[in-house]
């Protein structure tokens, strides 16, 4: 079977190679005609928020700050609201104003695909954007940084506010419980002018007051921490080291190579399908072949000369003349 395919290929190699060459040229040509791409990058230093201990000059521990920031930004880039806020804050805002909602949604998703996040180190975060215009690339990178900082601040502040409100409620409840326990001790001591340490009721009241005092102290400490966190929520722990003020033009060799490879694969697919079709045609049963004398040699075609025709007619007349005698 394999030898049959090889034989069919060499009989029709020109027809089978032409699609490969054409598709290869089309793929490379389309890649060459694509507009150039520019990449703008920004380097951001990330550290833990005050009042927590800094991670500078360390490996970042089990939770490096840059890794957490990269995870947060990646999650935000998967939301339409964040992409929309970035687009409205960037030079791309004008191009999205007059678009239909569905088309604008597609443009936002496409814009999100041009933003990449990397963490070269435990405290270093790199944000890059790719556009066909250097100013768009720089403006988009700057917008991502601004909106990321604002979104993170709002998320942290919202969480800190909820925690502070919860701890304040616990503190108020602990304060009320402490006052109630102290009031019960004082009330019992009024009834019992001489406090007896061995009095079980008195001992129970004093123990309840001590427990309430401890709960109040714990609640006060938690509220102090959450209040400090709320105050520090305005700081994201981010510092831009390298502003996205330049955009580098990307080399086109890789894109041209990818386009050429894609065209080559497409051409090979067409050629293989053509080879299969030619193999199928060469294996058709003889009954399906059309009678065509145009492709045959002259010796294979029935050719009756004038003398042969005359002899055939003479023999037929003699046969007819002899018929009455036979009867």
Integer Cα distance of 299 and 271 in angstroms = 37
* pLDDT value of residue 195: 55
Alpha-carbon torsion (195, 197, 199, 203), positive or negative: positive
* pLDDT value of residue 294: 43
Whole-model pTM: value is 0.63
Report the interhelical angle of 2-11 vs 253-282 (nearest 10°): 110
Q: HSE-up of 13 (CA within 13 Å, CB side)?
A: 4
Report the interhelical angle of 2-11 vs 13-33 (nearest 10°): 70
Any idea where the domains of the chain sit in the sequence? Answer: 35-249
* Total residues found in the chain within this entry: 327
Strand partners, 270: none
Angle value at C-alpha 15, between 13 and 17, nearest 5 degrees: 65
C-alpha closest to that of 241 among 114, 120, 86: 120
* pLDDT value of residue 37: 87
Enumerate residues 6+ apart whose C-beta is below 8 A from 73. 117, 125, 127, 144, 148
Q: HSE-up of 201 (CA within 13 Å, CB side)?
A: 9
Averages of pLDDT over each 10 residues, the chain, 327 residues:
75 86 88 84 85 70 85 94 94 87 91 94 93 93 95 89 94 94 87 67 88 94 89 79 89 79 90 85 61 44 46 50 47
* pLDDT value of residue 165: 94
* pLDDT value of residue 213: 94
């Amino acid at each position: 079977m394999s030898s049959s395919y090889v034989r069919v290929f060499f009989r029709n190699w020109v027809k089978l190679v032409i699609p490969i060459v054409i598709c290869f040229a089309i793929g490379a040509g389309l890649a060459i005609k694509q507009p150039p791409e520019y990449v703008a990058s920004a380097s951001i230093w990330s550290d833990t928020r005050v009042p927590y201990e800094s991670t500078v000059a360390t490996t970042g521990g089990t939770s490096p700050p840059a890794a957490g920031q990269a995870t947060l930004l990646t999650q935000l880039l998967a939301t339409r609201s964040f992409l929309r806020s970035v687009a409205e804050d960037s030079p791309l805002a004008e191009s999205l104003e007059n678009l239909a909602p569905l088309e604008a949604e597609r443009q936002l998703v496409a814009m999100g695909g041009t933003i990449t996040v990397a963490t070269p180190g435990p405290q270093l975060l790199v944000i890059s954007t790719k556009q066909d215009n250097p100013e768009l690339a720089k403006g988009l990178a700057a917008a991502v940084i601004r909106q990321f900082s604002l979104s993170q601040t709002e998320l942290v502040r919202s969480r800190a506010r909820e925690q502070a409100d919860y701890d304040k409620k616990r503190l108020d409840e602990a304060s009320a419980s402490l006052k109630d326990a102290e009031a019960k001790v004082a009330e019992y001591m009024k009834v019992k002018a001489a406090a007896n340490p061995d009095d079980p009721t008195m001992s129970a009241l004093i123990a309840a007051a001590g427990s309430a005092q401890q709960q109040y102290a714990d609640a006060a400490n938690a509220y102090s921490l959450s209040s400090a966190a709320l105050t520090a929520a305005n700081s994201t722990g981010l510092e831009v080291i390298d502003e996205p003020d330049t955009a580098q033009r990307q080399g086109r060799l890789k894109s041209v190579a990818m386009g050429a490879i894609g065209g080559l694969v497409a051409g090979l697919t067409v050629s293989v399908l053509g080879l299969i079709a030619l193999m199928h045609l060469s294996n058709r049963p003889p009954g399906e072949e059309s009678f065509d004398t145009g492709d045959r040699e002259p010796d294979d075609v029935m050719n009756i000369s004038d003398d042969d025709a005359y002899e055939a007619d003479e023999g037929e007349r003699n046969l007819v003349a002899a018929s009455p005698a036979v009867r």
